[in-house]
Amino acid sequence: MEENIRRLKELIDGSDNIVFFGGAGVSTESGIPDFRSVDGLYNQKYKYPPEEILSHSFFERNPEEYYRFHHEKLRLTGAKPNAAHRKLAEWEAQGKLKAVITQNIDGLHQAAGSKNVIELHGTLLRTYCSRCGKPYPFELVNEGEGVPRCDCGGVVRPDIVFYEEPLKDEDIERAVHFIREADVLIIGGTSLVVYPAAGLINYYRGHKLVLVNKGETGADSYADLVIHEKIGEVFSQL
């Protein structure tokens, strides 16, 4: 571990073009469960598999069941950024880090002070009517009960990307730009199995690919530095 931290520190110290690509594992140390760890959402039992509940067609078909799951599992309850979020914001403020590209929907990177955050899967912090597009305060969805409705009768939804929905072109283009131009690419807290997001790392052209993830991933074999530890614990030592 110590040798890996030393190597990572050397890469960070020597670069002013770091890009971070992350996922749910970045927020587990803030108390938000991920999907695929043993205590993650996919290993808990529901009437329907989470992939199905979090799909566009399910939301349209069964908003009551969707919102039962949302209120139980996706509600934001005051989680705070951890050492990983804070360190990334610090590097950006120092001019060393160019972008945080995240699959997370919890807003914790911005809460830590990061400015250039590309939220590939949207955010729970914005909501709008799925019929007429009218925006609503986040509290309506986060703190309410049952299915939140718009004045027009449509169902209000969080501005997250459901399964079956495309990512925004603009987000993909910006993510590809930053990854392609990156000197150091750090991938952290992601199982790299959700596409197309996971495929974006293939645009990296450098030789300083760092992976900080508790479990193994498909990118371990070609990363230049692999650290199988908790990302908050690792980043707090940098």
Q: Are 238 and 87 in contact (CB under 8 A)?
A: yes
Q: Which of 56, 121, 207, 228 is catalytic?
A: 121
CB of 111 to ligand CNA, least distance (A): 12
CB of 199 to ligand CNA, least distance (A): 13
CB of 228 to ligand CNA, least distance (A): 8
CA distances from residue 144 to 14, 29, 70 in whole angstroms, order as listed: 48, 26, 11
Smaller CB separation from ligand CNA, 77 or 151: 77
First to last CA, the chain: 12
Smaller CB separation from ligand CNA, 150 or 185: 185
Specify whether 207 is catalytic: no
- The residue behind tokens 């912090």 is 125
Provide the binding-site residues for ligand CNA, judged by CB under 6 A.
23-25, 27-29, 32, 34-37, 40, 103-106, 121, 189-191, 193-194, 213-215, 230-232
Smaller CB separation from ligand CNA, 2 or 195: 195
Q: Are 184 and 206 in contact (CB under 8 A)?
A: yes
d(CA 105, CA 126): 10
Query: What's the residue count for the chain?
Result: 238
Smaller CB separation from ligand CNA, 36 or 56: 36
d(CA 105, CA 161): 9
CA distances from residue 183 to 14, 122, 191, 205 in whole angstroms, order as listed: 10, 26, 22, 8
CB of 206 to ligand CNA, least distance (A): 22
Catalytic residues: 121
